[in-house]
Amino acid sequence: MTSSPSQARRWMFEGIVIVTSILLAFALDALWQERAEASQERVLREALIADFQRVRDLIPPHREEHVRTQAAVGHFIDLVSDVEPGMSVFIPDTAIVFGILNPSLDAPTGALESALFSGGLQLISDPEVRRMLALWPAGLRDATEDDRMLREFHGIALRDELSSGTNLIVPLSRTWPGETGTVTTGVEVLVTNRLKGILPSVLGSSGLAAQEEAELLLFVDSILARLGG
């Protein structure tokens, strides 16, 4: 039995309708998927911007601490440079405080850590942003290496040396380097060869930490600009 031309046309029409429906369904599914991914990317970008903005706000005052440490420890070195080991010298409390108290830079990047762990970084459509974000953990570690050395090694070594060689402790002043006022309190310190060796390490680490955090700030600004923050 042969089909009539009208039946053939009907079957062809039905086939076209079925294929069109399938293609339309795929297109709609792709559209919804694209919109869902765009929404997820927007949420992730907003979370990343919030985190990096907090980091952006933390770096300048933390870097200023290192600059103050440089000034204070530089003054400390000047005071002991001409003093023979075994002799004592009066050191202003500001030089002591900034030499041994070194706060850490705790960068709040929970959104990025979550994205890296879950693979959500692929939601970011800009490949350059993905590259910069992927580099951030290692960049942060490198940029804060001297900060950690200052806090965990050199600062502790200076504190221990001062603890063993301090003859007189008087109340700390509230006058810091760069501010108005006169420093009238301090500590009489026994000068040793070890003390003279530690101080340049503190000075060097504080200088490098300040420089590295300035560069880190530029990197954060670049990330925020690419994220739209």
pLDDT of residue 175: 47
DSSP per-residue string spanning 106-122? ----HHHHHHHHHTGGG
Pick from 64, 51, 196: nearest CA to 111: 51
> In 3-state terms, what secondary structure has residue 82?
coil
Pick from 123, 119, 135, 147: nearest CA to 46: 123
The tens digit of pLDDT for each residue in 20-53 reads: 666 665 655 555 555 556 677 888 889 899 999 9
Check if the beta carbon of residue 163 is closer than 8 Å to that of residue 190.
Answer: no
| Range list of H helices, 144-192 | 145-149, 155-165
Output phi, psi for 152, to 5 deg. -95, -15
The tens digit of pLDDT for each residue in 104-134 reads: 777 877 888 888 788 878 888 889 998 999 9
Furthest-apart CA pair in the chain: how many Å? 121
Distance CA 125, CA 40 (A): 11
Pick from 58, 139, 141, 72: nearest CA to 103: 58
Specify whether the backbone of 124 is left (phi greater than 0), alpha (psi in -120 to 50) or beta.
beta
The tens digit of pLDDT for each residue in 51-110 reads: 999 999 999 999 998 888 888 899 899 989 988 988 888 888 778 888 887 777 778 778
> In 3-state terms, what secondary structure has residue 142?
helix
Instruction: Categorize the per-residue pLDDT at 216 as very low, low, confident or very high, splitting at 50, 70 and 90.
Output: very high
Check if the beta carbon of residue 147 is closer than 8 Å to that of residue 100.
Answer: no
